[in-house]
Amino acid sequence: MRRAPIVITATVLGTAGVLLFKPLPVSSLEGASSTGASSTDTSGTSSDTSTSTAPSSTPSSSATSSPAAAAAPASASATGAVESDRYGDTQVKVTIKNGKITEVTVLAYNDGDPRSAEISEQAIPILRQEVLEKQTAAVDTVSGATYTSNAYEASLQSALDKAGFTAPDKSKASTDLATADANLRGH
């Protein structure tokens, strides 16, 4: 009888947890695959096999009053570099419309093992939302997903650079993944 309140409380809390659980929306990992969209040539350099790295249209020739709008292309789409770390490869594609980042699609993400894939799948929607809100690749690292965050930001910054996009606050994410990962290991 003394266990009844504990069992009832645990049951209620467990049920509430199940009811409040929100599964990862399919759209947040749209285009995510473990194969990626890159190939490696015999020299060991990575090349992008995507055909959408060039701007889809030319920037508007009309004068703009905003300095950020003047620096950003009107519409473009670009695929970032494949960023590799100890947990796998990460690559993103960015779409810019009317001088704003409107979409970030993951082409490959850290999925070297089941735990890495789970961490990445939880972190990617958070990173995407931050990027769309702040309009920059230089966003906060997701706690517990530092490798994923660093690789995502580096690939995204590479894509933004290809597209000729400059963040409104002029911020840039680091594309030096080797240094960021070495700092994580204490080297």
pLDDT-derived band at 36 (thresholds 50, 70, 90) equals very low
pLDDT at position 46 is 38
Residues with Cβ within 8 Å of 167's Cβ and at least 6 positions away in sequence, in order, are 68, 134, 135, 136, 137, 138, 160
Residue indicated by tokens 């809100």 = 133
pLDDT at 34: 40
Whole-model pTM over 0.75:
no
Task: Work out the average pLDDT over 170-187.
Answer: 68
Task: Determine whether 53 is exposed, middle or buried from the number of CB atoms within 10 Å of its CB (0-12, 13-18, 19+).
Answer: middle
Cα–Cα distance measured from residue 74 to residue 133, given in angstroms and rounded to the nearest whole number: 18
Q: What is the pLDDT of residue 73?
A: 61
CA atoms of 101 and 105, how far apart (whole Å)? 11
**Strand, coil or helix: what is 87?**
coil
Range 162-174 average pLDDT: 89
Q: State pLDDT tens for residues 77-109.
A: 999 999 998 889 999 999 999 999 999 999 999
Please count the helices (runs of H) and the strands (runs of E) in the chain.
5, 6
What is the spatial distance between Cα 143 and Cα 145, in angstroms, rounded to a whole number? 5
- Span 25-35, average pLDDT: 48
